[in-house]
Structure 1
């Protein structure tokens, strides 16, 4: 049976309580404005956080879960994306100043390595071609994707995209870019200078978030309408395994009438070990999912504000969420009382590990 273009409601097995959040760590000295992105080092217990306050902060997580700020560098405008190089020695970032920056952990120096003609919405560190050449790739509202050698100021390649970049992710040799007007551009990093194929999102509304499967054979996509799609690159796999479902919705009954509230999915993350997924949204909730069994592993109660970004650490035993204003209701709804913090949730296997298949 094909689930492609069908909407199924994921079944719930466990609903968390406030007690399940009691061991969460609140990061000290958080950003001073909305948090746009979080990324963990692939080599050590460090993470970076980018913010609308024009800064990228780097934190260390100690063995007991406490955190300490270790470094900070600045852009000239709000920063929208941050990631680490694979060796864990550098942090990359892009933002509304149209710049792509590289921060060296050891020297403490930041340098501009690239530029676009409009704000940079997403950055990733990828390895291209059969020789796995290390490259920074940036996606912008100027409707281009640009690849950068960190040693030279000019892009080594530029790809024209159908629309502005809203989200981007990579895994193995797969790079997936979600743009305005629901275009999804799929790139094989063995041949990084051209788009392998462009498809239209199976979701009806604007794409907000994308994460690639750890195996590099597909991606999960979330939209502003509280829907998620699990997609595969191979057409046969897609017809057999692809599906969409509703999530991040809330029913309220007022005066005998039932109202449905729908929230944007601001972040999707793949667990680095188990290949399960986390979604987080404007409702302040996060959920863990098993896509193969098509059910929710655990859903958590709403935090006191929208979740704007999230990330698993390198072994998946920490899930970080940023609680801050996501601008979904416009400038007027942002105020000094709105929370602005990062929570580190220590994950348990029963929350994030696939359930054994029934015989």
Structure 2
């Protein structure tokens, strides 16, 4: 079982949305977009259950060894009897149900959906008896339960809640991530969380269980031997080791699974790259087994390039043994890893953003060029539920018109665009300008702009001896003077 894929007589036909190990056994629960909930006995290599549904399943969880729940694209929250395979609807959202979890401490099923609502359903009562948490102003992108704590993410925001006090307002947490949060995981050992972003970073905040120290920092999840500045694969999943405090794994859009030690801030190892994105990860309750779902995810532009598979690693794997060994002695990892401060966060040239959220006057990368969006239109929904966005953009440096069509639920690259003001000191004969920076140094690597009107204003103003301040726009490694401010005569 050393990294071997699970075998199915009837292969999984569409993207895997979630895998979860059972509370006390080797059974693995699998939800997928082919509208089936599966229960697989990993120890016996046997499919125990395949329960069809009326809708795509976007999430699943166990109640106990004999019952489970799912969240469906039809908004339904369903409960399954894992012995008989029967299921019943216990509640409904007004839109697609995207997340589900179960709290054994409160006997509550918690669900979230695109209707911007979070519901709690009492598993001990008849179906339909649920209540809503406080109203949200955005769609929930991930949800995680640990004991009495619930964590949900929306956009770049993190909200925490004590399930014993559902009517109290959510506690807002600062993640330092300024891009969309894709996944989140509540710490099983202490109050805290880890969240992963669309541009490949993780933000951690964990309160130590035995003292007042808090682990809080951010890092980029780039694989070994890659340039961290240009590795922007979305972090799809984060799981904490259920046994070892501070140990966690991340899985990304490019098929990488990497082990980290949050306490020593070390990358411990990475597993061999998987054929698809890492859609979901799950630890066995004893931490001995790790399940990895390698599958297309609905955020990607390439659908089902490789068939979905689930790989199982056990403690006999060389990498897993290294993981446990390194953690037990708090040793150094095989390679230093850069854990970023907040100031490092903007080092990348672009970041991913869902196409359907990009608006007119925003920015987008079209044909590897940074563009300002001047027109955006959306077509009707296609085969897989994806509407198409037609973007018309103007290159911010060349003013060339460019166009692109992208499914609305897929990611586009968006450039980091910055504007900086400098005082103009001199203009050389070969067309270069000398600019005064904030720290008193000079910047001498920019040419005069090519726009005739702006060029004339700068030259005439400088010839007249005026104090001039120019605005320099920078994006994707390019810079250009884009505007002029006349602050009066010298």
Matches within 5 A, 1:54-65: 54-62=35-43
2:4 is aligned with 1:25: yes
Alignment correspondent of 1:350: 322
CA-CA distance at 1:249 after TM superposition:
5.5
> Of 148, 165, 170, which residue of structure 1 is paired with 2:145?
170
> Of 221, 228, 253, which residue of structure 1 is paired with 2:202?
228
| CA separation of 1:248 and 1:155: change in aligned 2, threshold 3 A | farther
2:147 is aligned with 1:149: no
Q: What are the Cα deviations for residues 274-307 of structure 1, in whole angstroms up to 9, with x where unaligned? A: 1310100111010111101111121123111211
In 2, are the aligned partners of 1:100 and 1:120 still within 8 Å (CA)? yes
| CA separation of 1:70 and 1:225: change in aligned 2, threshold 3 A | same
| CA separation of 1:259 and 1:44: change in aligned 2, threshold 3 A | closer
Higher alpha-carbon deviation: 344-353 or 88-97? 344-353
In 2, are the aligned partners of 1:248 and 1:281 still within 8 Å (CA)? no
Alignment correspondent of 1:219: 193
In 1, are the aligned partners of 2:78 and 2:88 still within 8 Å (CA)? yes
The structure with the larger Rg is: 2
2:313 is aligned with 1:341: no
2:77 is aligned with 1:100: yes
Once residues 264 and 280 of structure 1 are traced to their aligned partners in structure 2, the CA distance between those partners, rounded to angstroms, is 9
CA-CA distance at 1:328 after TM superposition:
3.6
| CA separation of 1:240 and 1:153: change in aligned 2, threshold 3 A | closer
| CA separation of 1:324 and 1:145: change in aligned 2, threshold 3 A | same
Aligned residue for 1:351, secondary structure, equals helix
In 1, are the aligned partners of 2:4 and 2:312 still within 8 Å (CA)? yes
Aligned residue for 2:322, secondary structure, equals helix
2:158 is aligned with 1:184: yes
CA-CA distance at 1:196 after TM superposition:
3.7
Once residues 129 and 190 of structure 2 are traced to their aligned partners in structure 1, the CA distance between those partners, rounded to angstroms, is 25
| TM-score with structure 1 setting the length | 0.82
> Of 62, 84, 91, which residue of structure 2 is paired with 1:84?
62
Divergent runs of 4+, >6 A: 250-253
CA-CA distance at 1:318 after TM superposition:
0.9
CA-CA distance at 1:201 after TM superposition:
3.2
CA-CA distance at 1:191 after TM superposition:
1.1
| CA separation of 1:264 and 1:175: change in aligned 2, threshold 3 A | same
Structure 1 residue ranges without an equivalent (≥5): 1-21
CA-CA distance at 1:23 after TM superposition:
2.0
Aligned residue for 1:77, secondary structure, equals coil
> Of 262, 265, 284, which residue of structure 1 is paired with 2:232?
262
| CA separation of 1:357 and 1:201: change in aligned 2, threshold 3 A | closer
In 2, are the aligned partners of 1:229 and 1:242 still within 8 Å (CA)? yes
| CA separation of 1:68 and 1:199: change in aligned 2, threshold 3 A | same
C-alpha RMSD over aligned residues: 2.4
| CA separation of 1:91 and 1:292: change in aligned 2, threshold 3 A | same
Once residues 240 and 108 of structure 1 are traced to their aligned partners in structure 2, the CA distance between those partners, rounded to angstroms, is 44
Alignment correspondent of 2:175: 201
| TM-score with structure 2 setting the length | 0.61
Aligned residue for 1:205, secondary structure, equals coil
CA-CA distance at 1:240 after TM superposition:
4.5
CA-CA distance at 1:238 after TM superposition:
9.5
In 2, are the aligned partners of 1:186 and 1:195 still within 8 Å (CA)? no
Higher alpha-carbon deviation: 192-201 or 268-277? 192-201
| CA separation of 1:126 and 1:146: change in aligned 2, threshold 3 A | same
| CA separation of 1:334 and 1:294: change in aligned 2, threshold 3 A | same
In 2, are the aligned partners of 1:272 and 1:316 still within 8 Å (CA)? yes
| CA separation of 1:216 and 1:110: change in aligned 2, threshold 3 A | farther
| CA separation of 1:329 and 1:196: change in aligned 2, threshold 3 A | closer
Alignment correspondent of 1:53: 34
In 2, are the aligned partners of 1:146 and 1:155 still within 8 Å (CA)? no
> Of 312, 322, 332, which residue of structure 1 is paired with 2:283?
312
In 2, are the aligned partners of 1:122 and 1:139 still within 8 Å (CA)? yes
> Of 254, 260, 264, which residue of structure 2 is paired with 1:283?
254
Once residues 88 and 194 of structure 1 are traced to their aligned partners in structure 2, the CA distance between those partners, rounded to angstroms, is 32
CA-CA distance at 1:168 after TM superposition:
0.5
Structure showing greater relative contact order (alpha-carbon pairs closer than 8 Å, 6 or more residues apart): 1
Alignment correspondent of 1:274: 244
Once residues 262 and 249 of structure 1 are traced to their aligned partners in structure 2, the CA distance between those partners, rounded to angstroms, is 11
Aligned residue for 1:133, secondary structure, equals coil
CA-CA distance at 1:212 after TM superposition:
1.1
